[in-house]
Amino acid sequence: MGKFKELRPSIAAFLLMMAMALTTTALSFFVGPVCTELGLGRGSFTIYYSLMSATGAFAIPFHGQYINKKGVRGVMTISAFWITAGLFGFSLSGKLWMFYAVGAAMGLFGTSCVNLCANVIVQQSYSSARATSLLGLVMSGSGVGGMILSMVIPGFLARHGWRAGYRLLGLCWLVLVLTALVLLGKSKMSGGIGHQRTPTDGMTRAEALKSRSFYLLVAVIFILTAACGIQQQIPSVLAEYGFGTAKVSTMMSFFTAALAVGKILQGLLYSKIGPIKGGFLVVGIFAVSFILLGIPSMAYPALAALAVGMGCVTTLMPILTRFTFGAREYAAIWSILSTVSSIGSLIATPMFGMAFDATGSYAPAMTVSAVGLFLCLGIMVLFFRKK
């Protein structure tokens, strides 16, 4: 029982990350069916996701300040019902502006919000070493959730349609977030999340904002998140290569499984060799993945490498944040960096679709992504020189 009590925060965070898959991986399967039925362009349709990221970017600093003082439970409670309502709203939408309006509203308590909550729960519930080893496992929740959804959602959409699919996602979100709340319990410790001492190590938010390291990390996070904009288009990329619906579903299951396993291995990697060497290795793999993704015969190796690279946004970046700035005002500092992450997603997600609409291929966007990630490695050299 004592062991379970110790692990309750990490289990709750894992469930939040599973919920996150409902508004990332799962939504990618709706692009084709919705656009086909309503006669929409992929680029114009996926702008709703950018609006979701934009409002998330606006809201997340406020969430960070609130969580730093009051804990995560209030924000999580609102998110449980807010996103459920939003997904049901998608199911009732028939015009492009409706998707835009609902997506913009959802962003206030959506992906960025639960990602922040999951990170804060882990970072403030455990020591730095323990948090580093657990974070990869916890963040794999999005991969596990995505793997399950990749096996379920395509068939469900084929049988019941996209409107019923959105409602299913809404119910799943409600169950997962409310279960996480139950696991957190009612303890009123530091941040209200089960941590028994107020963190005193590290910088304040104001001190972090004055440091060069903060802005180098901003650049790294922006590039990494922008490259992750391909995620909403992966099923379409595979379909462009001539893979059928069943094959795409299988390949997406492989991708999400690799995403889950990759995050677990990253947590162990950073614990073993540290975030510096580990970070260079993972970001390098991410860059190579876009080169491989341009070769249809290399689809599986590309998806595996892509999954590893994408995982660094939710594993390496939080670890580097605590590694650099400490746990003293982690929620407030990470919330600002999460805003940068949302802006990267906001800009890049529709650009992949627009690149396809303009050129008939995803190749130009993938080339830009690969170049950007190699540039990111150069910025990381400057960042780690400060360590």
| Structural contact between residues 172 and 146, judged by C-beta atoms closer than 8 angstroms | no
Partners of 190 in the β-ladder: 195
pLDDT in tens, the chain (387 residues): 567 777 889 999 999 999 998 998 899 889 889 998 998 888 788 889 888 888 888 888 888 888 877 888 899 999 999 999 999 999 999 899 999 999 999 999 988 888 889 988 988 887 777 887 788 788 888 878 888 888 899 889 999 999 999 999 999 999 999 999 999 876 443 344 444 445 556 788 888 888 888 999 999 999 998 888 888 788 888 888 888 878 888 888 888 788 888 888 888 888 888 888 888 999 999 999 999 988 888 989 999 999 888 888 878 888 888 888 887 788 888 888 888 877 887 777 778 878 878 888 788 888 888 999 999 999 988 877 755
The one-letter amino acid at 257: A
End-to-end distance of the chain based on CA atoms, in angstroms? Answer: 40
Cβ neighbours for 168, distance < 8 A, ≥ 6 positions apart: 156
**How many Cβ atoms from other residues are within 10 Å of residue 229's Cβ?**
24
What the chain holds in terms of domains, given with CATH numbers, is 2-185+199-385 (1.20.1250.20)
Q: Rounded to the nearest 5 degrees, what angle is found at the Cα of 117, between the Cα atoms of 116 and 119?
A: 65
Lookup: tokens for 154: 């395509």
Question: The whole model's pTM is what?
Answer: 0.74
Spatial distance between the Cα atoms of 358 and 361, rounded to a whole number of angstroms: 8
* DSSP structure class, residue 108: G
Residue with token string 């459920």: 84
| Torsions phi, psi for 326 (to 5 deg) | 80, -175
Partners of 202 in the β-ladder: 326
Sign of CA dihedral 265, 178, 30, 162: positive
Lookup: tokens for 292: 């491989």
Lookup: tokens for 157: 């959409």
